[in-house]
Structure 1
Amino acid sequence: MEAIRQGAAAELWQSLVREACARCGQTLDEAQESYLVFVLLRHQRDGHLLARTQALEWLDAQLRVGSARADALRDVGDRCLLIAGLFPALAQRRRVSVDYFIDLGRGAYQGVADSGRSGYAELFAQLADSYHHLVAALRGIRGERFTDAWTLHGARRVH
């Protein structure tokens, strides 16, 4: 029975992601779409998502080594992605911009890529590069369009 519920949930999230991308004009490749669905599934029951302080979680990840560090950074990147895309009002309540969560999340994914863990490095480098597209897809699920200078011009930000 659990497999049916998981399969149904995965199909629902995948359908929502695809519809949102079509609505907001975003194109995600198969790896990006699959990872975004994975993130949504993995965190759909996370009752503490909005209570965590992502900067502290990022600092904690920096103290870890090896796969524990990569996993902790992945979690920070995932949660920042969900906050920036699905809960942007949290940024305002915390008196930071949505870009704060985007930059922190992109940096966390880049940290996973830089860890050189086989199989992860390339995927997370791609996810870091396409972070704004992933946020835009999540905003599409909310029925909003996410546009900033980065998505309007289709270029990477210069820091």
Structure 2
Amino acid sequence: MFEAFRNGTPVELWQALVQQAYERTGRRLDESSESYLVFVLLRYQADHLLLSHAQGMDWLQALELAGRARADALRDVGDRCLLVAGLFPGLAERRRVSVDYFISIGRSAYQGVADATRQAYAALYEQLARVYRELVHTLNAIRTLPNIAEAANLRALL
């Protein structure tokens, strides 16, 4: 397993961490939710401003947009809330809100994407909204894996 962390691509690293989370929790995501989760981790692994966003304000601003811009902005809010709730729950405490605050905004954002997009994307984002807590649970398991983040050289994100 640690070989993947030493020599793997970023996709392989995140997939290995997700697999370790499954082993730890005994719970698995469906294939499309897992793929999306890995995509989100890849997309935001170098985002140094991730934790600086005011998700509630970003969500409200996204609701004022229309069409593709609205869907994209809501997706971004949903993704960032997912990462904060799953990997950085201490941020909620520091901001004096609950992790459920981020989960609620994130689920609403994904449902907004589903409502604003074509049928194929709508189905994916409806599903992601339904399993949002499971996605958070998987990320939380990744966050608490012993020595995995260090071995994967991913400490900067986690």
Q: TM-score, normalised by structure 1?
A: 0.84
Quote the sequence identity (%). 62
Q: In structure 2, what residue type is equivalent to 1:84?
A: A
- Alpha-carbon displacement from aligned partner over 1:18-67 (angstroms, at most 9, x marks no partner): 11122112211110110000000000011001111001110111111101
Whole-angstrom CA distance in 2 between matches of 1:48 and 1:112: 22
Partner of 1:78: 79
Mapping of residues 1-159 of structure 1, within 5 Å: 8-143=9-144
* Cα displacement (A) at 1:115: 1.2
- Alpha-carbon displacement from aligned partner over 1:97-145 (angstroms, at most 9, x marks no partner): 000000000000011111132421000000000000000000010127x
Whole-angstrom CA distance in 1 between matches of 2:69 and 2:79: 15
* Cα displacement (A) at 1:14: 0.7
Structure 2's unaligned 5+ residue stretches are 1-7, 146-158
- Please identify which structure carries the higher helix content: 2
RMSD of equivalent CA atoms: 1.1
Whole-angstrom CA distance in 1 between matches of 2:93 and 2:105: 16
The runs of at least 4 consecutive aligned structure 1 residues that moved more than 4 Å come to none
Secondary structure at the aligned position of 1:132 is classed as helix
Whole-angstrom CA distance in 2 between matches of 1:111 and 1:105: 10
Q: TM-score, normalised by structure 2?
A: 0.84
Structure 1's unaligned 5+ residue stretches are 1-6, 145-159
Partner of 1:3: none
